[in-house]
Structure 1
Amino acid sequence: MGSNRFLSASALMEKDYFDVEPISRRIKVYELPENMNEERMKELHTAAAEMNCDKLIFYVKAQTDEEEILRELSAKLEGEIKGFFRGEDTKIYAKYLDPDRNQPDSKNVISRVRELDLTSHAMKEGLQEGYTMTWGKEDQAEEMAKFYKSIFSKYPTPIHEPDYIVKMLNDNVHFSLIYHDGKIVSACSADIFSDYGAAEFTDCATLPAYRGQGLLSHQYPFLQEKMKALGIKTMYSYTRAISMGMNIITAQQGFTYGGCMVQNSMIGTGLEDMNIWYKQL
């Protein structure tokens, strides 16, 4: 006998506007299901539970009926990305299947970062001698995977796998790599959401021995100019809330703080809060 639920777990996986991310036990919803109501929300909860996901994240245009619907369904506003939907502002709401997951980390550094005067922190021109920056290519996938594996014991995506990196490179993800002494010492990527005219700065990492040199500060504008050339209108980033360095770098690059996504990403030692930053190009 067939189910009368509007979406099964398998059907959910096939929808373009649903992004199921099992490692972080979350589902991102970029388009509300038709006739969204309490019953539909229950169905989403059931489908998410079948995939061991306990957080639903909704991206909706600001000041619309969709935003009002989510508020009525007790979704929690976690932040915003201005210009995300092809120039239109986006609000980000969350529903937690497990209330214990909705516990913000008191070690979030954002209040300290926002107190800093970052206007005088000009980036040094050019990389130091002996460093080179290049675009990541398929024949570097194995080296890139080893680089990320050496830094992250846990990560929201299987970036430790060369095949996955190749898939990313063929799916609108652009990697910048910085080399020194013949090895990758820092990397970052821009993941393009072509349907929305937006791109995410992500996968940022630097080997411990090379931190404090501003290597990521060189990669942000490198990637940003590429995105501009490709017609991207908005850049955004989800930055580890406990990372003083990464939040400072993002702020220095002219990004605006947009809120905090609680226990959002499996990274480092477990689920961590992620601060939202955005910049309209």
Structure 2
Amino acid sequence: MENQWELDRQNDRIVAYLPSMEKGELMEIFTRFKTESLGKLIIFSLERDSKGLSELGFQFEAEMSGFFQGKKACIFSYYGNERRSASKTASENKEVMALVQMDSKDLSNLIITNFSVELVGDTEWNDLAELFEIVFPVYPTDIYDPNYLRKAGEQNYTFIVAKNEAGKIIGAASAMESGYGSAEITDCAVHPDYRGNQVLYGIILALEKELIKKGIYHAYSITRAKSVGMNLTVKRLGYVYEGTLTNNCVISTGFEDMNVWTKKLEKEPKKEPKL
């Protein structure tokens, strides 16, 4: 597995995936972090490197089961300033998780009947961008740009859309392949007129099937910590909570805490032929 890291100016951070922890590369990343005066450095590492990162002053924030080719990733963060390290919604986050964990609904076998769910079509990128503009006032990637969406779909993203009877896109989400045999369920959006109709459940279940077709069996979702709806959605679909990332990225009102949820995807058992 190769190491990867990127400077993400839009979210004032560096995100590094380091399955092979090398001191020289780690120092290079840390130097760049300091030179750019960034707010947060996030490292995805294997469990064996946890002690070393802690000794360097990194804070453990979450786990991500199955991220590295089926092996667990440990997520550590280093903060460039006190303001970025302090959660603005810690008490609200706890209240949301208390509500979510009390919920016992299981919708992982939901059957959709009142709308269609399918891969986005080649001529639908503009419509998809319009939906994202309606749903998200601010977002950490350029999802309002149809060309950006098209290029993402040609690379490591799979987009699924839900449509009403008239064929209008009413919801969408994507699965972004990590490059390590796992994928993030992201870009989840439902038009305000269609919320409360289990649209997102159907979309995510369809995305999971697409991932299994590609041989990807570990999915994860990074949800707004203060969003009851999104956290409930992934929990009801069988995702497991594994930690919270403080002031992780810019969404809606600015930097927000994000919850990590993971799920191991299972192939549907083959049906035995009737004799």
TM over 0.5: yes
Mapping of residues 7-156 of structure 1, within 5 Å: 17-31=4-18, 34-35=22-23, 42-49=30-37, 53-62=38-47, 64=48, 66-104=49-87, 105=89, 106-108=91-93, 109-119=96-106, 124-128=110-114, 131-156=115-140
Distance 2:11 2:120 in 1: 25
Contact 1:37 1:69 in 2 (8 A): no
Distance 1:27 1:238 in 2: 17
TM (norm. structure 2) is: 0.87
Q: How far off is 1:75 after superposition?
A: 0.7
Q: How far off is 1:274 after superposition?
A: 0.7
Q: Which residue, out of 148, 170, 187, partners 2:172? A: 187
Contact 1:145 1:159 in 2 (8 A): yes
Deviations 1:24-57 (A, max 9, x none): 22211002663259965651422442xxx31111
- For structure 1, the 5+ residue unaligned runs are 1-14
Counterpart of 1:205, as a letter, is A
Contact 2:108 2:238 in 1 (8 A): no
Counterpart of 1:118, as a letter, is K
What's the counterpart of residue 272 of structure 2? none
2:124 is paired with a residue of what secondary structure? Answer: helix
Identity of matched residues, %: 31
What's the counterpart of residue 9 of structure 1? none
Counterpart of 1:96, as a letter, is Y
Structure 1 residues 230 and 81, CA, compared in 2 at 3 Å: closer, same or farther? same
Contact 1:55 1:94 in 2 (8 A): yes
Contact 2:159 2:172 in 1 (8 A): yes
Structure 1 residues 168 and 88, CA, compared in 2 at 3 Å: closer, same or farther? same
What is the root-mean-square deviation of aligned Cα atoms in Å? 2.0
What's the counterpart of residue 273 of structure 2? none
1:30 is paired with a residue of what secondary structure? Answer: strand
Contact 2:174 2:185 in 1 (8 A): yes
Mapping of residues 247-262 of structure 1, within 5 Å: 247-262=231-246
Contact 1:189 1:202 in 2 (8 A): yes
Q: How far off is 1:116 after superposition?
A: 2.2
Structure 1 residues 41 and 68, CA, compared in 2 at 3 Å: closer, same or farther? farther
2:130 is paired with a residue of what secondary structure? Answer: helix
2:92 is paired with a residue of what secondary structure? Answer: coil
What's the counterpart of residue 202 of structure 1? 186
Q: How far off is 1:92 after superposition?
A: 0.3
Distance 1:22 1:191 in 2: 20
Contact 1:37 1:73 in 2 (8 A): no
Structure 1 residues 160 and 99, CA, compared in 2 at 3 Å: closer, same or farther? same
Report how many residues are paired.
258
1:202 is paired with a residue of what secondary structure? Answer: strand
Q: How far off is 1:139 after superposition?
A: 2.1
Moved over 6 A (4+): none
Distance 1:145 1:136 in 2: 12
Counterpart of 1:126, as a letter, is I
1:139 is paired with a residue of what secondary structure? Answer: coil
Distance 1:38 1:201 in 2: 28
- For structure 2, the 5+ residue unaligned runs are 266-275
Deviations 1:175-229 (A, max 9, x none): 11011233211101001123x1000000001111111111111111111011011
TM (norm. structure 1) is: 0.86
